[in-house]
A and B are shown apart, each in its own frame.
Chain A
Amino acid sequence: MEYSLIDLEPGESGLIKGIVGSSQSKKRLMAMGIIQGKEITVETVAPMGDPRIYSVLGYRLSMRNVEAQNIRIVRN
């Protein structure tokens, strides 16, 4: 079953399947390690639920939910 990254709750993780969206934002995300097959975990949620902090490749990065929506994952 395929989900988007925002479907994950804090503490949950999934495997990245792909990114949809503009090629510019794809490039930006890819350069930061958002790439097919990598595991990604929701670490922290900002006070109003947006943005959130994820961990991928052993480091932390924050993303707004509108971006996270473009990242397809499969649940672990």
Chain B
Amino acid sequence: MQGGKITVALVGNPNCGKTTLLNRITRSKESVGNYPRVTVALKRKEFTHQGQVIELIDLPGIYALTSQTPEEREARDFIHSGQVDIIINVLDACNLERSLFLTSQLIEMGHPLLFVLNMADEARSKKLQIDTQGLSSMLGGSVFETVGTTGEGLKELLDGVVMLHAQKTRREPIFLTYDDHLEQSVRRVQRLVTELHPKALDHHQSRWLAIKLLEGDDRILLQEGEHAHLLEMVHRERYDLARSHGEECDLLFAMARYGFTHGVVEEVVQGPSEGEMVRDWTGRLDQVFLHRFFGIPLLLVLLWIMFQSTFSLGKIPMGWIDASVSWVSEWVSGQLPEGMVHDLVVDGIIAGVGGTVVFLPNIVILFFFMAMFSETGYLARAAFLVDRSMHTFGLHGKALIPLVMGFGCNVPAVMATRTIEDYRSRMITILISPFMLCSARLPVFILFAGAFFSEKAGTMVLLMYVLSIVVAMGAAVILNRLFLRSDDDAFVMELPPYRLPTLRAIMIHMGDRVIGFLQKVAGVILVGSIIIWFLQEFPHHQTLSQDYDREISQLALMPQTLQNEEIITALKMKKAQEELEQSYLGQIARTIAPVFVPLHFTWKDTVAILTGFVAKEVVVASYAVLYSQGDRAAENSESLRKALSHSMTPIVAFTFMLFALLYAPCLGTIATIGREAGGWIWAGYSVAFSMTLAYGLSFLVVQIGGLLL
């Protein structure tokens, strides 16, 4: 394929810096994080180096090619798919011995390979010296030292890719040699493989196939399923080997591989011993953050600081945005002549979009903290700390990461469940992720908490977070009963060293959320606001119960008294109210509203709930549009809060918050659940489950609350 595109795949252990390298090389902004298994689906990016078009593919991290989880299989199948021209095997320079286990499997495949020693900066500071020349000759491919976070060594690496492709002459592939017994078995199986695939396979490929068969690789066994006597032979060889060595055959191969990696490390690495490697500042920090008694309180304090800052710090820029929105609204209002267009722009668009965009600062701050947690390596520790508690709810400690991500957006949260190996455990996590209070729902709660519980607004919002967790855990328990217990007890997780977050990584985290939010504001919120405005403005020919206009004009002719003014205002509001009720929106909502009567929601709340199905931010935009109608001043959030606060009692307001927290996930999440869980039935199940729970709990709260207060 001279002159064509080169397809290059990044293959390596989780958390060795593959995505960081991809981001650097192709100037992309894919998510990174200092915990294993951030990337769960493959990402392709194209770029040009020395005039050569290169497609770089970032794969989920894997420890071996004989893997089990969905994202590991995706990586493995892609490597075997034949689409890859060159594999870049990314190695964590500080973790060479383990990283080379995967390498030993890659080498045998005989694919053109390059090796990257990433995290070279950390290796230097640990005084590890790696002989790259020696490594290169032992692995049979060029070795490059890189630092993903600064971009050091990337130019050389890319030059190496282009060169390797241009030469096209492969170096003589390296063979791992096994001890006598294994070697003889491999040869015997290889001979039969060659007979069965005459002329199709070279020596290297048939050897690889034989090794894979003996290692019990389920994919290859399936592929060779038609050759019954080959499988029979493999089975017999495996059995004989296991009997004569007293160990399972897979283990014998794994041991041979570690023999190889150990040999390589002995040869090329100089520096601290294994024991000294973990006596570092990560160890000292762990003594604090993972302290037996203070570890969990510290986690709670950190979370509290995160939420508190989100609201208290967020208030200041919120005020500025609010003021600007009012200013724009007034200015536009002055520019446009009275009429439909004026109302559409001011009451529809500016009210809806402005009412939502004020929450941007909260989202920025929340994500700053989330980025810090995940980039420092604390998030992985948090999963470790809560694993035991999660286990009592039938959840996996690893579920913490998707659930915490759910605070941002439920869509990536559902995707992140891919790292959970056990099927049932994963399904349960998928079904409860939508209960996590995502940043789209945050504006609803900030609005309501401010309107009804002004003194304790911060606490109320925190309470909603607590409720979201409590309900999620409760739901997990229920689902566990329904589904039978999940029986997977594995929690093998690599704990990365603490790292100083880079500005770039933090910006990627925050930028993602901010851009996503603004895109929604410019898209679904804008459209939603316009539609809601139209639905409530039309039809225009309504029959009102009184001739308000005449009464008002008559009153206006009379001498101006205070009492008179009040009557006029009251009449105007009554008129607006009646118009709204007769509008299309009012008609639709009132058809459905009876369903929500037991919860004491009005038809306006019904409108907000309906629109929230699309995306939860639209709930706020709906209120903003609904309440800007009768009351001219309701374009900024201050007056929206006031208008809202007269519309329901605090207990109903709380019920509404609860309902908004729990009812059906937004369309995006529903679609993701359908895709990830592998069936639309799951999406339907999720909607039904969350609606039932939302309605049931809200009903209980409003009824019991009504009795108590």
The residues of A with any CB-CB pair to B shorter than 8 Å are 18-19, 23-33, 35-39, 41, 43-51, 53, 55-64, 66-67
Chain B residue with minimal CB distance to A67?
Answer: B490
User: A30-B251, A35-B255, A51-B387 given as contacts; is B292 within 8 A of A62 (CB)?
Assistant: no
Q: Are A32 and B494 in contact (CB under 8 A)?
A: yes
Within 8 A of A (CB), among B72-102: 94-95, 97-98, 101-102
User: A46-B385, A58-B277 given as contacts; is B492 within 8 A of A63 (CB)?
Assistant: yes
Q: Are B254 and A60 in contact (CB under 8 A)?
A: no
Q: Are A27 and B64 in contact (CB under 8 A)?
A: yes
Chain B residues lying within 8 Å of A64, measured Cβ to Cβ, are: 387, 391, 489-491
Whether, in the assembled complex, B397 has its beta carbon less than 8 Å from a beta carbon of chain A, the answer is: yes
The residues of B with any CB-CB pair to A shorter than 8 Å are 63-64, 66-68, 94-95, 97-98, 101-102, 216, 247-248, 250-251, 254-255, 258, 273-275, 277-278, 282-283, 286-287, 290, 292-293, 295-296, 384-385, 387-389, 391, 397, 421, 489-495
Q: Are A43 and B248 in contact (CB under 8 A)?
A: no
Question: With the chains together, A18 CA to B64 CA distance in Å?
Answer: 19
Q: Are B491 and A62 in contact (CB under 8 A)?
A: yes
If A30-B254, A49-B388, A55-B277 are given as contacts, then 12 extra A-B residue pairs at C-beta distance below 8 Å, sorted by A number, are A25-B490, A27-B66, A28-B490, A31-B64, A33-B97, A41-B275, A41-B278, A46-B387, A47-B292, A47-B296, A57-B274, A60-B278
Question: With the chains together, A24 CA to B489 CA distance in Å?
Answer: 12
Chain B residue with minimal CB distance to A39?
Answer: B274
Q: Are A51 and B384 in contact (CB under 8 A)?
A: yes
User: A46-B387, A46-B388, A64-B490 given as contacts; is B278 within 8 A of A28 (CB)?
Assistant: no
Q: Are A61 and B283 in contact (CB under 8 A)?
A: no
The minimal Cβ–Cβ distance linking A65 to chain B, given in whole angstroms, is: 9
Q: Are B492 and A61 in contact (CB under 8 A)?
A: yes
Chain B residues lying within 8 Å of A43, measured Cβ to Cβ, are: 278, 283, 286
Question: With the chains together, A4 CA to B388 CA distance in Å?
Answer: 21
Chain A residues lying within 8 Å of B250, measured Cβ to Cβ, are: 23, 26-27, 30
Question: With the chains together, A23 CA to B64 CA distance in Å?
Answer: 14
Q: Are A31 and B384 in contact (CB under 8 A)?
A: no
Chain B residue with minimal CB distance to A40?
Answer: B274
Sampled A-B contacts (21; CB under 8 Å)? A27-B64, A27-B66, A30-B251, A31-B254, A32-B494, A33-B97, A36-B251, A41-B278, A43-B286, A44-B287, A46-B295, A47-B293, A47-B295, A47-B385, A47-B388, A51-B384, A51-B491, A53-B290, A57-B98, A58-B94, A60-B495
Question: With the chains together, A31 CA to B286 CA distance in Å?
Answer: 25
The minimal Cβ–Cβ distance linking A40 to chain B, given in whole angstroms, is: 10
Q: Are B495 and A62 in contact (CB under 8 A)?
A: yes
Chain A residues lying within 8 Å of B491, measured Cβ to Cβ, are: 51, 62-64, 67
The minimal Cβ–Cβ distance linking B278 to chain A, given in whole angstroms, is: 4
Question: With the chains together, A18 CA to B242 CA distance in Å?
Answer: 14
Q: Are A32 and B489 in contact (CB under 8 A)?
A: no
Q: Are B492 and A29 in contact (CB under 8 A)?
A: yes
Question: With the chains together, A39 CA to B275 CA distance in Å?
Answer: 9
User: A35-B255, A60-B494, A62-B493 given as contacts; is B384 within 8 A of A53 (CB)?
Assistant: yes
The minimal Cβ–Cβ distance linking B401 to chain A, given in whole angstroms, is: 13
Q: Are B278 and A59 in contact (CB under 8 A)?
A: yes
Question: With the chains together, A49 CA to B296 CA distance in Å?
Answer: 13
Question: With the chains together, A25 CA to B490 CA distance in Å?
Answer: 8
The minimal Cβ–Cβ distance linking A66 to chain B, given in whole angstroms, is: 5
The minimal Cβ–Cβ distance linking A63 to chain B, given in whole angstroms, is: 5
Q: Which among B102, B255, B274 has the greatest number of chain A C-beta atoms within 10 A? A: B274
Chain A residues lying within 8 Å of B278, measured Cβ to Cβ, are: 41, 43, 55, 58-60
User: A53-B384, A59-B95, A60-B495 given as contacts; is B290 within 8 A of A26 (CB)?
Assistant: no
User: Top 4 nearest A-B pairs by Cβ distance?
Assistant: A31-B64, A58-B277, A31-B63, A58-B274
Chain B residues lying within 8 Å of A37, measured Cβ to Cβ, are: 255
